[in-house]
Amino acid sequence: MADTDYKHLAREGLWTNNPGLVQLLGLCPLLAVSNTTVNALALGLATTLVLLGSNVTVSLIRHAARPEIRIPVFVLIIASFVTMVELVMNAFFHELFLILGIFIPLIVTNCAILGRAEAFASRITPGPAAFDGLMMGIGFTGVLVALGAMRELLGHGSLLRDAHLLFGAPGRAMSLQVVPVDQGFLLALLPPGAFIGLGLLLALKNAIDGHLERRAAADVPVDKPATGLQSS
């Protein structure tokens, strides 16, 4: 695959076809656990690992899986990687695992993962499939972290609250109290706040895309109509 194709995959995953802002897939866990930055980052990393592993595996068996059974096979592969991630989190990040709860196993039902396996990884070699999974995962994680940081900042006045749950003892020094508040903006921490926050992120992306389109259109040279009479 050419370098330009890898650039296209990166642009697709991070911006133009972002799972959270364009495809609008996997919204249930995205909205449910994004009340803090650490929770959002943990779920994003877990989803990225599943995307990466499932894309590579699906690509490796793409010629062996018969068309009539490929979807159940893909779901089984995704479920296997989710189980591995779940066991690792339970063993090494137990408190965070308890906080995320059901939303870790629910990664199996994330349509973005199955969609990439079916639409892309099953038709391409492992290298580009792995890169696509990584970029899609990073794009999804970026939306999660942005939404989590926004909600945490409004609700608690802090960033990276309870970072030690993910980063261990050094994470206690990473927590930052930006605004000293006794009672935060409760709506930001509730489900309606998640929908409002996602809507603001969508509006911001659309505004940026519109600005880029207008600037690109302005840069296109316009041929001036010929003036005067042509000599015969």
Give residue 165's pLDDT band: very low, low, confident or very high (50, 70, 90): very high
169 pLDDT more than 60: yes
Q: Which amino acid is at 99?
A: I
215 pLDDT more than 50: yes
This prediction has a pTM of 0.90
84-119 burial by CB neighbour count: b if 16+ within 10 A, else e?
ebbeebeeebeebbebbeebbebbbebebbbbbbee
225 pLDDT more than 50: yes
Residues 110-117 have a mean pLDDT of 91
pLDDT reported for residue 221:
67
Helix, strand, coil tally for the chain in percent (to 5): 75, 0, 25
Q: What is the pLDDT of residues 12-34, one digit of tens each?
A: 999 999 999 999 888 888 888 99
231 pLDDT more than 60: no
DSSP 76-125: HHHHHHHHHHHHHHHHH-HHHHHHHGGGTGGGGG-HHHHHHHHHTGGGS-
Q: What is the pLDDT of residues 194-203, one digit of tens each?
A: 999 999 999 9
pLDDT reported for residue 222:
56
Q: What is the pLDDT of residues 125-164, one digit of tens each?
A: 999 999 999 999 999 999 999 999 999 999 999 999 999 9
Give residue 71's pLDDT band: very low, low, confident or very high (50, 70, 90): very high
Q: What is the mean pLDDT of the chain?
A: 90
Strand ranges (DSSP E) for the chain? Answer: 158-159, 176-177
pLDDT reported for residue 21:
93
Residue pointed to by tokens 């068996």: 61
pLDDT reported for residue 232:
40
Residues 93-114 have a mean pLDDT of 92
206 pLDDT more than 60: yes
Here the tokens at position 36 are 């803090």
Helices (H) and strands (E) in the chain, counts: 10, 2
Contact at 8 Å (CB) between 97 and 90?
Answer: yes
pLDDT reported for residue 25:
86
Going by the DSSP 8-state scheme, the letter that residue 162 receives in this structure is T
